[in-house]
Structure 1
Amino acid sequence: MIITILRIIMLVFAVGIFALIVKDCRQNGPKDVPVKHKVIYGIMGFVLNLLDTLGVGSNATQAAFFKLTKLSPDEDLPGNGNVIFAVPVIVEALLFMNIIEVDTLTLFSMLAAAMLGGIVGGKIIAHLPVRNIRTIMSITLPCVAVILVCKINGVGPFGILGYATALTGGKLIVAVLINFVLGMLMCAGVGLYAPCMALCALMGLNITVAFPIMMGSCALLMPPASVEFIKAGRYNRGAAVIASITGIFGVLAAYFIVKELPVKVMTYIVAVVLIYMSISFIHSNRKDKREGK
């Protein structure tokens, strides 16, 4: 029953946030987006959501894409990671929700905590100056790179073989509190998938249980967080609608067709790019400081 309610909420969120994106883009978006850029955005949405469904993640990859292509300013990167990928991530969660058995209370409480974290984080991050955003990302992105490398090699908590499908007592309280923080960090451009998987492993859960928890967490936190970024106009309006649509096809392609890619190699590449981005953010802040901005 709870799972059915969660699925209905996710569907409502998907329709609602997509309608809000379309409305905002029509009213405030650029009217002359080059066809070349539209094609690039479409391909980006498809590919990055395909990789996200296979476990590589989309937050780090989208930040790398926009940073390297210079198609969005730095202050829009957290918003892009939430607004543009909200609908495809909901599709992911709907596909994975019933595949893996997980305790209803554990699932519901951790998802609710992440959603509340996203609401709080969105209100804060959406209004931060660009220098603060760069500082946050320059610190957190190397941490994400380390976590990703540990994940694909089964190092640390990722090597723990838990068997539980439920959390109770103190473990549940700790997991809920940490997932709240992860929901906030998601709004700052830090992906939730890998840290949430590490959290589940540390709590003794079967590692497969992390999939509905991490996907469901993002599905419920990203739409409310996205509302704040949309209100502030801190996202790429030119990319949002088309990448949201092609992203859905990327999720479906990964789920039904592709199944497997050289994820380990791609994750190493993403980790290297994250380190480069961290250095780039530090350099940008120092340059602005020298110029008195």
Structure 2
Amino acid sequence: MKAILLGGIAALQTYFIVYLIIDLVKHREQLSITAHKREYVWGAVIGGITSGLDTIGIGSFAPHTFLMNVTRTNDDKKLPGTLNVSHCISVLIEAFIFISVVTVAPLTIFSLIISSIVGSWIGSRTISTFSERKVQLIMGIALLLTSVLMILRQQGFLDILGKGNEAMSLTGGKLIIGIVGNFVFGALMTVGVGLFAPCMAMIYLLGISPIVAYPIMMGSCAGLMPVACVEFIKADHYDRVHSFSAILGGIVGVLVAARFVTGLDVSSLTWIIILIIIYTGIVYIYKGTHRSSPREAESHI
């Protein structure tokens, strides 16, 4: 079962990588290192930092959004696509680690992953049609929602939900709830709401053992992101220079975080990032609800 699941995820990732390479080659005139030296450097740095944060359990989308704003490398209309494309490959690496070591009932993990993929496909096709102002507002709300979920997890409320859970699979009505929930979370992933925390809360509430949550979450992200990313690429809804450099930096970030960040005070770092996320969310809501020009709005960051 694991071999089939990992093979399916790898096939989706290969599909994404091939599509990405074709698109980059097709638009190679936009990828000049000389003309975009600053964007390449910041993309690699931001990708490395945020993928490292994701590896140690903090998340990547929200801090990535903040850092792009700080470094003035953001294109808000293309932000959802840029975030997904930038972290697609690094999430694959994380998924292979967790799925390889934890056994989950085939029907449960396959159905939840497939539903998240369908949700991301619909979500990515929808978000690509939105105006920049609407994307800004959605991102602001998504960031504030993310901060709330991170606070709940930081305070241990999500862990409490899973305490005493022993089930390794979902059946009947619980399986249907899980499928519908992961469909929604897959769609929300394409607008910047990370799947991990809400998916974890749902799985715990359905009685699943905490150890099973991680392969489901990682597998869902690794499966849905390639599908969503291809849709973003088709719609020209991502920043090519930033995404390409962030992918390279992200691979390094995952490997470094997995090997060398064992002594880091993750709790204190998480609280700092939560404050940053709240601030960034407020800024995006301001930009999405005020009629100032994009440059004027950016001056508030």
TM-score, normalization by structure 1: 0.92
Where structure 1 has 5 or more consecutive residues not aligned to the other structure, the ranges are none
Cα offset for 1:289?
A: 6.2
Give the aligned residue type for 2:112: M
SS of aligned partner of 1:234: coil
Alignment CA distance shift 1:23-1:111 (3 Å): same
- CA–CA distance in structure 2, aligned partners of residues 64 and 197 of structure 1: 24
Partner of 2:127: 125
- CA–CA distance in structure 1, aligned partners of residues 135 and 93 of structure 2: 29
Contact 1:116–1:221 at 8 Å: present in 2 too? Answer: yes
1:101 alignment partner, one of 85, 91, 103: 103
Contact 2:141–2:285 at 8 Å: present in 1 too? Answer: no
Alignment CA distance shift 1:220-1:289 (3 Å): same
SS of aligned partner of 1:85: helix
SS of aligned partner of 2:100: coil
Partner of 1:175: 178
Partner of 2:53: 51
Tell me the C-alpha RMSD between the 2 structures.
1.9
Contact 1:45–1:246 at 8 Å: present in 2 too? Answer: yes
- For 1:1-293, what aligned pairs fall within 5 Å after superposition? 2-28=1-27, 29-31=30-32, 32-155=34-157, 157-160=158-161, 161=163, 162-259=165-262, 261-288=264-291
Contact 2:95–2:218 at 8 Å: present in 1 too? Answer: yes
SS of aligned partner of 1:84: helix
Give the aligned residue type for 1:8: G
Where structure 2 has 5 or more consecutive residues not aligned to the other structure, the ranges are 295-301
- CA–CA distance in structure 2, aligned partners of residues 260 and 122 of structure 1: 37
- CA–CA distance in structure 2, aligned partners of residues 119 and 231 of structure 1: 12
- CA–CA distance in structure 1, aligned partners of residues 197 and 73 of structure 2: 26
SS of aligned partner of 1:11: helix
Contact 2:46–2:68 at 8 Å: present in 1 too? Answer: no
Give the aligned residue type for 1:285: G
The farther-off stretch of 168-177 and 98-107 is 98-107
SS of aligned partner of 2:290: helix
Superimposed CA distance per residue, residues 228-285 of structure 1 (whole angstroms, 9 cap, x where no aligned partner): 1111222121122222123122222333443453222222122212221222122213
Contact 1:171–1:203 at 8 Å: present in 2 too? Answer: yes
- CA–CA distance in structure 1, aligned partners of residues 35 and 20 of structure 2: 16
Superimposed CA distance per residue, residues 76-114 of structure 1 (whole angstroms, 9 cap, x where no aligned partner): 211112111111111111111121232221111111111
- CA–CA distance in structure 1, aligned partners of residues 128 and 262 of structure 2: 35
The farther-off stretch of 144-153 and 67-76 is 67-76
Contact 1:49–1:58 at 8 Å: present in 2 too? Answer: yes
- CA–CA distance in structure 2, aligned partners of residues 260 and 57 of structure 1: 18
Cα offset for 1:211?
A: 0.9
- CA–CA distance in structure 1, aligned partners of residues 245 and 292 of structure 2: 36
- CA–CA distance in structure 1, aligned partners of residues 21 and 246 of structure 2: 12
Contact 1:164–1:204 at 8 Å: present in 2 too? Answer: yes
Alignment CA distance shift 1:81-1:290 (3 Å): closer
Contact 2:48–2:252 at 8 Å: present in 1 too? Answer: yes
